[in-house]
């Protein structure tokens, strides 16, 4: 299962770096700010669905869904998830946020595992967002199945932030 966290409307206009965060809630609020998550929920869900549908290893056994943010409401964030679940968190980037997330989920009684899988192709969101805002046309950071959809429907969100 791949969960796309819902962007909450009341937190959209926060534009501060993660270095100012100290708790999971403050990290999460900043990580979900409009400057870091410019795409609406539908567009993010659609991109993930396209990527999964076109990846043979995932297409038959992966569900993509929108999930409420756990820092806004833990109970509503898990209501559509299976009871017997395990969370896998990549701890490679944004280490303080990753640690805070692991501690938060563990404190909620969740099973968690840490992964150190690096970043695909060395990409990170900060760099990609900056290049898109500067007019980048190279979409190699996305699965090829997402290129046309992103170009036609999502690029506009990076010029208006």
Give this prediction's pTM: 0.79
Please enumerate in sequence order all residues whose Cβ is within 8 A of that of 14, keeping only pairs 6 or more positions apart, or say none: 29, 30, 33, 34
CA geometry: angle 44, 127, 125, nearest 5 deg: 30
Structural domain contains residue 139: no
Best-predicted range by mean pLDDT (74-83, 93-102, 122-131): 74-83
> Is 86 within a domain?
yes
Domain span at residue 76?
Answer: 2-122
Number of domains in the chain: 1
Residues 29, 31, 33, 38: is their CA dihedral positive or negative? negative
Position 155 in a domain: no
Task: For residue 145, tell me if it sits in a domain.
Answer: no
126-148: pLDDT as tens digits: 788 888 888 888 898 889 999 99
């Amino acid at each position: 299962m791949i969960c796309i966290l819902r962007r909450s409307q009341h937190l959209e206009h926060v534009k501060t770096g993660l270095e100012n965060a100290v708790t999971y809630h403050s990290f999460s609020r900043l990580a979900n700010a409009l400057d870091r998550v410019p795409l609406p929920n539908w567009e993010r869900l659609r991109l993930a669905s396209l990527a999964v549908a076109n990846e043979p290893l995932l297409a038959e056994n992966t569900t993509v869904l929108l999930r409420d943010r756990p820092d806004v409401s833990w109970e509503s964030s898990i209501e559509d998830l299976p009871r017997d679940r395990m969370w896998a968190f990549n701890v490679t980037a944004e280490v303080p946020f990753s640690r805070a997330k692991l501690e938060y989920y563990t404190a909620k009684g969740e099973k968690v595992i840490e992964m150190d899988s690096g970043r695909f192709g060395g990409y990170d969101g900060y760099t990609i967002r900056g290049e898109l805002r500067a007019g980048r046309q190279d979409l190699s950071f996305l699965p090829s199945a997402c290129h046309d959809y992103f170009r036609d429907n999502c690029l506009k969100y990076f010029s208006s932030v």
